[in-house]
Amino acid sequence: WRSDWKAIASHIIRTGRQEIDVRVAAYSWGAGYGFIRLATALMNQGVGVKVAVLSDPVYRNAWMLWRSLWSPILGEPVISIPENVGKVLYLRQETSWPRGHKCISRSDKTIIEDQGVLLQSHVWMDDASKFHDLVFTNMV
């Protein structure tokens, strides 16, 4: 989740084919922070993300970590998906902290599909069979 996403986006573009087909599977901060940074970096270079499958995506505020959870004034954070993303499928859990956050679209071009809440803890969400099924059916 803490990678240099601009450098990774540049690498994808430099080493990709003429028509770049980017698909992402991510979990936790890698979904709610890293994926968002990657998608934004790709958007800035004119490349889209075809589909993203996210497991328990957790919003992360880089300056105010407390805002990554919940605020009595601001409420629960949401993950704002960049407009260059075609489709997002995501799963969440409400058993333990941190908890995945709702994904919303910045544009009507992005399809968001909430795949529901699983009854397991956050640390096991990347091992969830439903997550794996979504990845395998959407990454081909």
CA-atom Rg of the chain in angstroms: 15
The reported pLDDT for the residue numbered 97 is: 87
Tokens at residue 139, please?
Answer: 């990454």
Whether 91 contacts 125, CB under 8 Å: yes
pLDDT in tens, 34-71: 999 999 999 999 999 999 999 999 998 766 655 556 65
Supply the pTM of this predicted model. Answer: 0.92
